[in-house]
Amino acid sequence: TLPSDCPPDVEALGRSTWTLLHTIAATYPSSATPTQQTEMKKFITLFSRVYPCWVCAEDFQEYLKEPENKLKVVEEEKGRGHLSGRSEFGLWMCKAHNNVNVKLGKKEFDCSKWEERWRTGWKDGRCD
Ligand code: FAD
């Protein structure tokens, strides 16, 4: 790894960016209004266009187009989608990250633990 006061390489940029993205999911409302969903959908779409690792960005844009990964705004009375609330969006983000992990030959993360990693801290209390 480079000294921490050097411009980031793809790895350092990725680690910082996943920290931001998972933390955004961790602080997303447990039940999001259509406006909050629309804003998050725009943020992710724009993020996928401006992320300054161009191969990463291109692959992420393709990932966002897959029918099962598409972010849609869903009104409360019409059921729940990936943007309906924190648990759905956090899981969506975890799966998006795992997609990159698999591509890079890294271990998949157990998505049942995303909230301990990024929101509450681990059950053993080491983050308290
Ligand atoms: P990271 O993958 O950065 O993970 C950081 C920490 O997050 C881990 O230590 C773990 O505690 C936790 N974590 C791991 N997986 C998950 C998960 N699924 N859910 C929740 N938490 C998790 N690099 C490339 O070389 N090529 C690419 O095409 C590429 N595309 C990217 C696309 C995006 C949108 C982003 C944000 C990054 C991308 N990267 C890419 C960078 C890559 O994902 C890693 O960030 C980088 O390789 C550093 O990896 P790392 O092993 O330090 O841990």
- Predicted confidence at residue 1, as pLDDT, reads 79
Model pLDDT for residues 19-34, shown as the tens digit of each residue: 999 999 999 999 999 9
- Predicted confidence at residue 87, as pLDDT, reads 97
CB of 38 closer than 8 Å to CB of 47 = no
Q: Which amino acid is at 59?
A: D
> Ligand 1 pocket test: which of 18, 101, 108 has the largest number of ligand atoms within 8 Å of its C-beta?
18
Q: Which amino acid is at 62?
A: E
Q: Please tell me the residue having the least CA distance from ligand 1 atom 53.
A: 15
**Ligand 1: nearest atom to the Cα of 94:** 19
CB-side neighbour CA atoms (13 Å) of 38: 4
> Ligand 1 pocket test: which of 91, 95, 100 has the largest number of ligand atoms within 8 Å of its C-beta?
100
Ligand 1 midpoint to CA 100 (Å):
7
Mean pLDDT along residues 36-50 = 98
Q: Please tell me the residue having the least CA distance from ligand 1 atom 27.
A: 56
**Cα end-to-end span (Å), the chain:** 28
Q: Please tell me the residue having the least CA distance from ligand 1 atom 29.
A: 56
Q: Tell me the domains of the chain and their CATH numbers.
A: 30-106 (1.20.120.310)
Mean pLDDT (the chain, rounded): 97
CB of 1 closer than 8 Å to CB of 32 = no
